[in-house]
Amino acid sequence: MLNIKNLLTAIPFFRDIRRRDHKPAYGALDIFKYIGPGLLVTVGFIDPGNWAANIASGSAYGYTLLWIVSLSTVMLIILQHNVAHLGIASGLCLSEAATIHLPRGISRPVLLFAVLASVSTSLAEILGGAIALNMLFGIPIMIGSILVTIFVMIMLLTNSYRKIEKWIIGFVSIIGLSFLYELFLVDVDWAEAGLAWVRPSIPEGSMLLIMSVLGAVVMPHNLFLHSEVIQSRQWNLKDDNVIKRQLKFEFADTLLSMVIGWAINSAMIILAASTFFRNGIHVDELQQAESLLRPLLGNNASVIFAVALLFAGVASSITSGMAGGSIVSGMYGEPYDVSDNHSRIGILVSLLGALLIIFFIGDPFKGLILSQVFLSIQLPFTVGIQIYLTSSGKVMGKYKNSIFLNIILLTIAAVVTFLNIRLLIEILT
Residues 200-249 have pLDDT tens digits of 988 988 887 887 787 667 788 889 988 888 876 555 456 677 777 777 78
Element (H, E) at 68: helix 66-90
pLDDT class for 282, splitting at 50, 70, 90?
Answer: confident
More confident of the two residues 214 and 4: 214
Residues 6 or more apart whose CB falls under 8 angstroms from that of 428 comprise none
Banded model confidence at residue 346, pLDDT cuts 50, 70, 90 = very high
Is residue 15 in a domain?
no
Domain membership of residue 14 (yes or no) is: no
Count: domains in the chain: 1
Inside any domain, residue 37: yes
Read off the amino acid at residue 164. I
pLDDT for position 8: 37
Alpha carbon distance 392, 398 (integer Å): 9
Range of the domain at 264: 31-428
Q: How many CB atoms lie within 10 A of CB 398?
A: 8
Average of per-residue pLDDT across 155-170: 78
- Residue 376: is its pLDDT beyond 90? no
Length of the chain counted residue by residue: 429
The CA distance from 294 to 289, in Å, is 9
DSSP code string of 307-364: HHHHHHHHHHHHHHHHHHHHHHHHHTT----TTSHHHHHHHHHHHHHHHHHHTT-S-H
Mean pLDDT of 296-314: 82
Whether 326 is in a domain gets the answer yes
CA distances from 263 to 69, 91, 260, 270 (A): 9, 31, 5, 10
Rounded average pLDDT over 397-421: 87
pTM: 0.82
The answer to whether position 10 is within a domain reads no
Residue 6 lies in a domain: no
Instruction: Please answer whether residues 94 and 385 qualify as being in contact, where contact means their C-beta atoms are separated by less than 8 angstroms.
Output: yes
Whether pLDDT at 17 is above 50: no
Q: 10 Å Cβ neighbour count for 88?
A: 22
The residue type of 18 is R
Average pLDDT over residues 94-123: 92
Is the residue at 76 inside a domain?
A: yes
Q: At what angle do helices 141-158 and 104-137 cross, to 10 degrees?
A: 120
Closest CA to 260 of 179, 321, 167: 179
How many Cβ atoms from other residues are within 10 Å of residue 123's Cβ? 30
Q: In this structure, is residue 222 part of a structural domain? A: yes
CB of 111 closer than 8 Å to CB of 98: yes
Q: Measured between alpha carbons, how far is 216 from 65 in angstroms, rounded to an integer?
A: 14
108 pLDDT above the threshold of 90 = yes
Contacts of 278 (CB under 8 A, 6+ apart): 62
CB burial string 372-387: b at 16+ within 10 A, e below: bbbbbbbbbbbbbbbb
Which CATH number fits the domain that encloses residue 354?
Answer: 1.20.1740.10
